């Protein structure tokens, strides 16, 4: 059953069923929404070739995906439209069907010999795969393709911090940073008589869905889809990678890759990105190391966190020392207090924070350095740390294109002490790391950042009229 090029450790049988005499191999696409560098897709192709069958790809489109709104759906559908076309050119039929993803997989899989799925890291994604494995009546195999090193290979527990997971990841990198070629298809599936919704006009698809329209799409800045991801990344490597080390904490610049949203929707593979980075010239060694630290160590630490922390989205996920310290300062006087609405409307006394909030709302993105400051201030300005946690996560997931990701839960939890150490005791924060506006003024051109956001906001306003 083991195909070429795919490590055993990426392959996991989700049930004990046998292969069935079906009409095709079904790849139920959910997390890895791409046609390239997709181990689950290639595994399905290799299995189908062995059985003399074609691969059918199905995607289940639900209206009420947890916390998703018009901005997220637009980006996702732009990507799915492209992926369907690219797969079609390779002789692989892809259909998108309305319905709960697990139900769509089960219904379409009734005539499948085998169901292959990709790996989702969040709670609901894991539950959906269990449901499909239980109900399929044929073998269901999960292939992990959205991390460089599979989670269980790295560690069997929640890691304390980057410093503890780093050596565990690094010792496997040579094994996993290997190129991965598509398998030639032996039998096309384009003739299969199954159909899904028409993706030619995304606006028509969106209009028929019941979505929260209050968060507007940002396609003028970030169009969804693997091709667009590839273009932005190539531009980053050609123009801005050289500045990555110096500027990755300088929010007034744009010397970052913008890959997180494409990674979130599985529109680009982290393995592909890492291999591209390693192909850059030797003089970029420092930038290579810095980028791979973020893309692999930090991102896969976040995957480790959500995988091994059952309550990753609740205040109780915080380390005991952090909860204790915050509890001791719960009654401390707050000089400023803001409601969620005031925060979302960027109506605080702090122009730097307001600019960060405006960047998030108008672009679906915020520079990492400002995300840290943004979260720390919500903790400082909320009535209780529990409320701050809830508010930060809710706003994060509402506006960011890369929200609702393992990185979202981990990033927000970091604000409250996860993967960090205890610092000097201070009001409200206790031993949690603090950030001050004066720090921004000292360490970066914060006025330049405010000007950058002003311009981005004008651009977004122009795009929406």
Ligand X SMILES: Cc1cc2nc3c(=O)[nH]c(=O)nc-3n(C[C@H](O)[C@H](O)[C@H](O)COP(=O)(O)OP(=O)(O)OC[C@H]3O[C@@H](n4cnc5c(N)ncnc54)[C@H](O)[C@@H]3O)c2cc1C
The contact set with ligand X (CB under 6 A) reads: 248, 256-260, 263-264, 294-295, 298-299, 302, 368, 371-372, 375, 396, 400, 402-403, 405, 407-408, 411-412, 414-415
Among all chains, which residue has been given the structure tokens 């409250």?
A: 416
* Residue 45 backbone zone (phi > 0: left; psi -120 to 50: alpha; other: beta): alpha
| Shortest Cβ 410–ligand X spacing (Å) | 7
**The tokens of 185 are what?**
């298809």
Tell me how far, at minimum, the Cβ of 19 lies from ligand X, in Å: 36
Measured from the CB atom, the residue of 40 and 401 that comes closer to ligand X is 401
Q: What is the secondary structure of 144-179 as a DSSP string?
A: --SSSS-HHHH-SS--SSHHHHHHHHHTTHHHH---
CB atoms within 10 A of CB 317: 22
Report the residue closest to ligand X, judged by CB: 411
Instruction: Say if CB 396 and CB 411 are below 8 A apart.
Output: yes
CB of 197 to ligand X, least distance (A): 28
Q: How far is the CB of 373 from ligand X (least distance, A)?
A: 9
Comparison of 202 and 301: residue with beta carbon closer to ligand X: 301
Distance in angstroms (rounded) separating the CA atoms of residues 8 and 150: 10
Least distance from C-beta 462 to ligand X, angstroms? Answer: 23
Nearest CA among 311, 319, 299 for reference residue 420 = 319
Q: Using DSSP, state whether 118 is helix, strand or coil.
A: strand
- Determine contact, residues 17/152, Cβ cutoff 8 Å: no
Minimum distance between the CB of residue 392 and ligand X, rounded to whole angstroms? 7
Q: Number of helices (H) and strands (E) in the chain: give both, helices first.
A: 22, 6
Residues composing the chain = 465
Beta-carbon count within 10 A of 184 CB: 9
Instruction: Give me the least distance between CB of 180 and ligand X, in Å please.
Output: 19
Nearer to ligand X, 123 or 186 (CB): 123
In terms of phi and psi (left: phi > 0; alpha: psi -120 to 50; beta: otherwise), the region of 464 is alpha
Across-strand partners of 143? 11, 118
86 versus 245: smaller Cβ distance to ligand X: 245
Q: How many angstroms separate the CA atoms of 146 and 182, rounded? A: 16
**112 or 237: whose CB is closer to ligand X?**
237
Contact call for residues 24 and 53 (beta carbons, < 8 A) = yes
Q: Closest distance between ligand X and the C-beta of residue 125, in Å?
A: 15
Distance, CA of 216 to CA of 271 (rounded, Å): 31
**Closest CB to ligand X among residues 189, 391:** 391
In this complex, which beta carbon is closest to ligand X, that of residue 9 or of residue 243?
Answer: 243
Q: Which is nearer to ligand X, 46 or 257 (CB)?
A: 257
Cβ atoms of residues 136 and 103 within 8 Å: no
Is 255 in contact with 240 (CB distance < 8 Å)? Answer: yes
If the CB atoms of residues 43 and 75 are measured against ligand X, the closer one turns out to be 75
- Which CB sits closer to ligand X, 96 or 218? 218
Work out whether the CA dihedral 370, 373, 374, 375 comes out positive or negative. Answer: positive
Q: Which is nearer to ligand X, 113 or 408 (CB)?
A: 408
CB atoms within 10 A of CB 433: 17
Q: State in angstroms the smallest separation of the CB of 264 from ligand X.
A: 6
Closest distance of CB 93 from ligand X, Å: 31
Least spacing, CB of residue 240 vs ligand X, in Å: 9
Instruction: Enter the tokens of residue 383.
Output: 């009535």
What is the C-alpha to C-alpha distance for residues 7 and 383, in angstroms, rounded to an integer? 49
Under 8 Å between Cβ of 10 and 144: yes
């Amino acid at each position: 059953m083991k195909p070429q090029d795919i490590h055993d450790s990426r392959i996991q049988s989700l049930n004990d069923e046998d292969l069935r005499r079906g009409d095709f191999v079904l790849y139920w696409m959910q997390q890895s929404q791409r046609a390239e560098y997709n181990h689950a897709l290639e595994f399905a192709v290799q299995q189908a070739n062995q059985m003399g069958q074609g691969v059918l790809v199905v995607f289940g489109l639900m209206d009420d995906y947890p916390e998703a709104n018009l901005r997220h759906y637009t980006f996702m559908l732009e990507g799915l439209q492209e992926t369907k076309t690219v797969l079609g050119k390779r002789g692989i039929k892809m259909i998108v069907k309305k319905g709960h993803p697990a139900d769509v997989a089960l219904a379409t899989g009734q005539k499948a010999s085998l169901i292959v799925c990709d790996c989702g890291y969040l709670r609901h994604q894991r539950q959906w795969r269990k449901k499909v494995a239980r109900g399929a009546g044929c073998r269901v195999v999960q292939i992990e393709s959205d991390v460089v090193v599979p989670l269980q290979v790295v560690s069997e527990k929640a890691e304390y911090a980057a410093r503890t997971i780093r050596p565990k990841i690094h010792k496997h990198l040579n094994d996993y940073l290997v190129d991965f070629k598509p398998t030639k298809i032996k039998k096309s599936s384009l003739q299969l008589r199954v159909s899904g919704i028409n993706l030619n006009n995304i606006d028509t698809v969106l209009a028929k869905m019941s979505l929260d329209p209050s968060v507007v799409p940002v396609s003028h800045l970030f169009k969804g889809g693997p091709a667009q991801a590839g273009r932005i990344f190539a531009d980053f490597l050609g123009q801005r990678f050289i500045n990555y080390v110096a500027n990755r904490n300088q929010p007034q610049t744009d010397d970052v890759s913008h890959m997180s949203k494409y990674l979130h929707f599985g529109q680009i593979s982290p393995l592909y990105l890492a291999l591209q980075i390693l192909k850059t010239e030797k003089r970029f060694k420092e930038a290579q190391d810095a980028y791979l630290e973020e893309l692999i160590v930090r991102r896969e630490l976040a995957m480790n966190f959500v995988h091994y922390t059952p309550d990753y989205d609740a205040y109780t996920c915080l380390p005991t020392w952090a909860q204790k310290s915050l509890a001791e300062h719960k009654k401390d006087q707050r000089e400023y207090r803001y409601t969620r609405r005031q925060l979302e409307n960027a109506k605080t006394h702090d122009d730097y924070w307001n600019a960060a909030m405006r960047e998030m709302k108008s672009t679906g993105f915020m520079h990492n350095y400002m995300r840290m400051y943004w979260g720390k201030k919500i903790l400082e300005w909320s009535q209780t740390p529990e409320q701050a946690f809830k508010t930060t996560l809710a706003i994060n997931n509402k506006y960011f294109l890369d929200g609702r990701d393992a990185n979202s839960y981990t990033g927000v939890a970091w604000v409250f002490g996860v993967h960090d150490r205890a610092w000097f005791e201070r009001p409200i924060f206790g031993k949690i790391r603090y950030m001050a506006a004066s720090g921004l003024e000292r360490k970066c051109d914060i006025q330049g950042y405010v000007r950058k956001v002003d311009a981005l906001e004008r651009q977004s306003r122009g795009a929406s009229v």
